[in-house]
Structure 1
Amino acid sequence: MINITSKALPDAIVVGGRAFLIKTDYRVWIRFTQDFKAWKKMGYKGAMNIKYLFEDDIPAFSETDDYSGILEFAFPQNVVPHYERDNGEDVLFYDIDGDYIYAAFMQAYHIDLISTDMHWHKFIALMNGLPDSTRLSAIMGYRAYTGEKIKDEAQMYRALKDAWMPPYEETEEEKAADEEFEKYFEG
């Protein structure tokens, strides 16, 4: 997720309290997501070669948490949309959708992905914002189809509203009121 209040995008990860510069070009991270997907499919067996992610120094990974910076960079989390049911199926395949991705960026943004260097987070933001009029969006929609019938238009819009609303966070006053209310029911 891009923080538009900052002029800088992340270009390092922290491992063992030390920052390590990473390559940020979208091509590198597409490769990583494909490698990671294959590694996951094999049951996380063996070691993944991730040396290509780093500019200079390569960190020594000693704990599982040491990898969190890489995963957070590769798969930045957005708070919306959030769906109650996500079947986890892939709808985008970089290895076979290259033509459609290229065409979608040209159509929507007039960006030639072959001759453009772009930060991974910019690439993801632009992918997430592709208009429905692109062929890629239509293909991804076909792949996401579940066969579930929507009973009425209002139900569909309620589901979309719920998915796109930011998660509700209680204020301190509301938390204190809830705690006070719970005390009445304690033994």
Structure 2
Amino acid sequence: MFRFYTEIPDTYSIFGHEFKVDLSFGTVINLLRMIHDESLSIQGRIDYALVFIFGNDKDTKAFFKTLDYETKLAIYKDIYEQGISLPETKENGGQRDILGNLLDQDEDDGPAYSLDYDSSAIFASFMQAYHIDLEQVRHTLHWQKFNALLSGLPEGTKFAQIMKYRHMDTSQIQDSQEKAYYERLKAQYALPDQYKEGL
């Protein structure tokens, strides 16, 4: 969980060795995309995840070669739980395991947005609300800060409008024309099924 009054750690200690970690939102998004790649073995995904987080310089690579799979899995799980996983919310679809799979998901539940599918709306909204060019800060803005800003986007931004339409309960609208209008918008901005399991 992001707390503005505490410093976000940028190192991680393993058996007395300190390593720099990269949890910028660009790195984490690419990591989460890779972690969903079922063409890779789970062991392969964990190995790649650690490369995303710690880099692949000669010394780091040599150190991680000395670790067994269970140790590497424990390291990834700890970093995921401390720095990557988000609090369970309706918007992000609920609690996920370390491979990003939804846990205890009801059939009708799921994430309200996709970082891939809604990428343009998110980019435009950050520019509009915060004057932040996400492409320029993808390797410097921490994942937790990115999510805090994303959840705080104000009404009037494209992303907030899309979320409003997706969450709208049209059954409460009495006027038939107004109801039909918002149902069209809800359908227009609905998140396609293929984006509900991944990013």
State the TM-score, normalized to the length of structure 1. 0.60
Letter in 1 for 2:4: I
Sequence identity percentage: 27
Where do residues 34-49 of structure 1 align in structure 2 (5 Å cutoff)?
34-36=33-35, 38-39=36-37, 42=38, 45-46=41-42, 47-48=44-45, 49=48
Partner secondary structure for residue 20 of structure 1: strand
Partner secondary structure for residue 62 of structure 1: helix
Partner secondary structure for residue 102 of structure 1: helix
Letter in 2 for 1:120: W
Partner secondary structure for residue 70 of structure 2: coil
Q: Of 130, 133, 138, which aligns to 2:156? A: 133
Structure 1 or 2, whichever has the larger Rg, is 1
CA change 1:127–1:86 in 2 (3 A) is farther
Structure 1 window deviating more from structure 2 (27-36 vs 99-108): it is: 27-36
CA-to-partner distance for each residue in 1:98-118, whole Å, 9 max, x for gaps? 211111101111111122331
Q: Distance in 2 between matches of 1:53 and 1:17?
A: 18
Q: Of 74, 85, 89, which aligns to 1:65? A: 74
Q: Of 141, 162, 173, which aligns to 1:118? A: 141
Letter in 1 for 2:160: S
**Counterpart for residue 11 of structure 2:** 12
CA-to-partner distance for each residue in 1:64-120, whole Å, 9 max, x for gaps? 4332223121114379x9x9x975512222222221111110111111112233122
Q: Of 110, 121, 128, which aligns to 1:89? A: 110
Where do residues 140-151 of structure 1 align in structure 2 (5 Å cutoff)?
140-144=163-167
Aligned length: 144
Unpaired runs of 5+ residues, structure 1, are 151-187
Q: Of 85, 97, 116, which aligns to 1:75? A: 85
Q: Distance in 2 between matches of 1:121 and 1:95?
A: 18
Structure 1 window deviating more from structure 2 (136-145 vs 105-114): it is: 136-145
Q: Distance in 1 between matches of 2:41 and 2:168?
A: 32
Q: Of 117, 126, 129, which aligns to 1:108? A: 129
Give 1:124 shift: 1.2
Structure 1 window deviating more from structure 2 (91-100 vs 42-51): it is: 42-51
Instruction: Please report the RMSD computed on the Cα atoms of aligned residues, expressed in angstroms.
Output: 3.6
Stretches (4+) displaced over 6 A: none
Matched-pair contact (CA < 8 Å) for 1:29–1:120: yes
Q: Distance in 2 between matches of 1:98 and 1:104?
A: 10
Unpaired runs of 5+ residues, structure 2, are 95-103, 174-199
